[in-house]
Structure 1
Amino acid sequence: MSEILEVIQLGHPVLRSQAHNVDNIHSHQVQSLIDNLLMTVIAANGVGIAAPQVAVRDRLFIVASRPIPRYPNAPQMEPTAMINPQILAHSTELVPGWEGCLSIPGIRGLVPRYQAIEVQYSDRTGKLHKQELTDFVARIFQHELDHLDGIVFIDRLQSNKDLITEQEYQKLHPV
């Protein structure tokens, strides 16, 4: 049975560690983790979550773009488990965008990310996917991939002046 997991917060050592490749996608442990991450990202009102955010050092994350209060203009997509993901190619253009993180609540940062990326990952059945992602979904992928390498969005800021509280962000960018 699936459960909502605790999302660890900035300062927990797993958030700053390298995740390990998933060798047995079909194992009960990995399939259960996927189900739990799917429940957790929805319950936490997120658009993505990586295994390290629940203190698991596996190279696995969920991309679950959909309109939510924090991201009302997010495109709707089926939540997708991405296992052993990687970026194969990317655009040269970096585009700044406001990001938040379930592990750093109440803060947003203006983070430069590639506008378009070509990615590869395995899904929960073990099928290998190659696809191009753009805009907001590309941003989610890059944000979650960083978690697998022990990087959080505040590490990508060009300046500390690019930080803002969620409360001030909502005042400056009303829906």
Structure 2
Amino acid sequence: MIRPIIHDEAFLQLPSETALPQDLSVAQDLLDTLAANTERCVGLAANMIGVSKRIIAIDNDGNFLAMLNPEILRRSDPYEAEEACLSLEGTRKTKRYRSIKVQYQTTAMQTRIKTFTDFTAQIIQHEIDHCNGIII
């Protein structure tokens, strides 16, 4: 189901709760909402659709991927990026890393550890920030 995008910064600044198997419909809603906004968006976090759970959806080089409870295990090669956000106005500068190692759960609740680089890594960092209540 395509959900409306939340713009309430007070809500977006609240850290999200651990995602559980009963939250899988939220992951599908994120994927649907991301697909409906592909012309202006490359990633979403659950709090951006009004659900305070640690779930993100990203465009991974043309393939949409939902990640539950993502955590960055390792970062390398820092740089300064300028990012926009569907929930916020304008662009902002922030520190990102070109390579990150992430542990997450799939929609089958299987744990995965994968290294992401470049723009995909930047997207994931932005969405994990949302899960942590960090607004760029």
Following superposition of structure 1 onto structure 2, how do residues 23-172 of structure 1 map, counting pairs within 5 Å? 23=20, 25=21, 27=22, 30-45=23-38, 46-65=41-60, 76-91=61-76, 93-105=77-89, 107-153=90-136
Counterpart check, 1:16 vs 2:1: no
Deviation of 1:111 (Å): 2.1
The one-letter amino acid of 2:19's match is V
Whole-Å separation in 2 of the counterparts to 1:36 and 1:131: 23
SS at match of 2:79: strand
Deviation of 1:114 (Å): 1.1
Deviation of 1:10 (Å): 4.3
The one-letter amino acid of 1:129's match is R
Q: Which runs of 5+ in 2 are unaligned?
A: none
TM-score normalized with structure 2 length: 0.91
Deviation of 1:54 (Å): 1.0
SS at match of 2:28: helix
SS at match of 1:38: helix
TM-score normalized with structure 1 length: 0.72
The one-letter amino acid of 1:48's match is G
Deviation of 1:143 (Å): 0.3
SS at match of 1:99: strand
Whole-Å separation in 2 of the counterparts to 1:58 and 1:118: 21
Residues 14 and 56 of structure 1 are in contact (CA less than 8 Å); yes or no, is this contact kept in structure 2?
A: no
Render the CA deviation track for 1:47-97: whole Å, top value 9, x for unaligned: 1000011111101010114xxxxxxxxxx2311110011011111x31122
Name 2:2's counterpart in structure 1: 4
SS at match of 2:125: helix
Q: Which runs of 5+ in 1 are unaligned?
A: 66-75, 154-175
Structure having the higher Rg: 1
How many residues are matched?
Answer: 134
Q: CA RMSD in A?
A: 1.3
SS at match of 1:115: strand
Deviation of 1:4 (Å): 1.1
Residues 44 and 102 of structure 1 are in contact (CA less than 8 Å); yes or no, is this contact kept in structure 2?
A: no
Identity between Structure 1 and Structure 2 (%): 32
Render the CA deviation track for 1:121-154: whole Å, top value 9, x for unaligned: 001001111011111111011100000111111x
Considering Cα pairs closer than 8 Å and 6+ residues apart, tell me whether 1 or 2 has the greater RCO.
2
